[in-house]
Amino acid sequence: MADTPEVTDTTFDADVMKSDLPVLVDFWAPWCGPCRMVAPIVEELGEEYAGRVNFYKMNTDENPAVPSKYGIRSIPSLLIFKGGELTGTIVGFRPKSDLKKRLEEAIL
């Protein structure tokens, strides 16, 4: 399974805000157990939605600016952007079926 690519404070604008496709960003940190459970599900979704939605992960330990801008105080947090606008936020670990439903709503 392909690793979800990293996005950083530096590349966020180009990769997420200026993306033609909707984007899901998985905010995580190495010390967060539930984040490690979310990662493989995000990878699976990345394959299922290839060509329709771009998927990135952002390490909140290494990238303080973007998490702070979006007021992230809990991880895992999945933020969904469409046309540079935040259209969905999923906080905490959720089952894959829930994530798909929320993703579908956010990219409509």
What's the min distance (Å) between Cβ of 21 and another protein?
25
Active site residue 35: yes
**Contact status, residue 22 vs residue 107, Cβ threshold 8 Å:** yes
**Contact status, residue 39 vs residue 26, Cβ threshold 8 Å:** yes
Provide the CA 105 distance to its chain's centre, in angstroms: 15
Contact status: 6 vs another protein (CB under 8 A): no
Contact status: 71 vs another protein (CB under 8 A): yes
Binding site for another protein (CB under 8 A): 29, 31-37, 60-61, 67, 71-77, 89, 91-97
Catalytic positions, written as ranges: 32, 35
